[in-house]
Each structure stands twice: as structure tokens, then as C-alpha cells.
Amino acid sequence: MRVLGIDPGLRNMGWGIIDVSGGRIAHVANGICHSVGEDLARRLCSLHAQLTEVVERFAPEAAAVEHTFVNKDAAGTLKLGQARGIALLVPAQAGLEVGEYAPNAVKKTVVGVGHAAKQQVEHMVRLHLPGIVIAGPDAADALAVAICHSHHVQSAGRLQAALAKAAS
């Protein structure tokens, strides 16, 4: 299964793609979509076009997006939410199911601690994907989201198999 992880951002939207086979994961690609334009509409359009190109190029089979957190700046939070809308829309337009994860859930899955620092997340991503060149912190976070989603999908599959076995 090929998984696309997305770390939403209005200036920088991180993305990371991994292949999952059984319990093994392998890095495919990662990068950052940088918004271009002066006004919000053009910036969102730019992010949409860039992320659409990533989906078309790498053909993921599943996607996951990190939830945004609410901060003191309501206007900034609203703009980030609009960028998150693009992060949800693009994979949905490609017909993908999109998982959503809180930042603490991603950190807990990848690092083992829900309040890990960004550096810890990047370090653990490097341990999961040896030899990787990471495009930046946003791409590292996106790869962490993809890893988190792969773990949750595998866990759900094991649970369904156990329930089916118990029912028979």
C-alpha cells in the first residue's frame, strides 16, 4: 500500500509518501509545497495545483492529514484551516480515503511520546526510513503522519481479522 501523509500549512505544506508491505515501510518521496501569490485565493490555488501534481505523480492508495491546532491568533488559525481543506480535498478528489490524526497521536505513534519535539519526530522518521534525505521539518512531519496512518490501518486490519475469526 502506498500512503501519502500531509502536514497542512499555508506557506509550506509538507508531504511524504511511503510504501507499506506487511510490517515494512519504505520511503518513496517527500517534499514541501510552497504557496505562491499575494492573496489567499491564489496561495490556496497554488497549494492545490502542487499537491494535485504529487498525487498524480506518485499515485498513493491512501492518504492521511494532520489536524491543525487552534492558537491565540484566530485569523491565522482560520487561514491554516483553509490550507487544511486543500490537504483534505486533493486526495478526496483522487478517490482516496483520508485519515485524520491529531498531532499528539502522530507523535505518540512515531516517537512513543505525545508531546515530542519536532527534532525527536524527525529523528524517529530517520530511524524508520534509514538513509532518507528529508526536504525539511514540514516534510518530516508529513512522513510521520504517513507512518502513523500505516500503523493504524494495519492495526485495524488485524482487529477485523480477529473479529472475523472469533465470529466463525
- Would you state the cell numbers that stand for residue 46, as one nine-digit string? 497554488
* Coarse DSSP helix, strand, coil percentages of the chain, rounded to the nearest 5 percent: 55, 20, 25
Inter-CA distances, 94 with 20, 51, 68, Å: 20, 11, 22
The one catalytic residue among 38, 66, 100, 122: 66
39 catalytic per annotation:
no
Q: 67 near 101, Cβ under 8 Å?
A: yes
Q: Is 7 annotated as a binding residue?
A: yes
Strand partners, 22: none
61 catalytic per annotation:
no
Residue 53 sits at the vertex; the CA angle it makes with 47 and 56, to the nearest 5 degrees, is 140
53 catalytic per annotation:
no
Strand partners, 29: 17
Q: Is 138 annotated as a binding residue?
A: yes
CA 154, CA 145: separation in Å to the nearest integer? 14
Q: Is 73 annotated as a binding residue?
A: no
- DSSP result, 92-117: HHTT--EEEE-HHHHHHHHTS-TT--
Which residues does the annotation mark as catalytic? 7, 66, 138
The binding site comprises: 7, 66, 138
The binding site for Mg(2+) comprises: 7, 66, 138
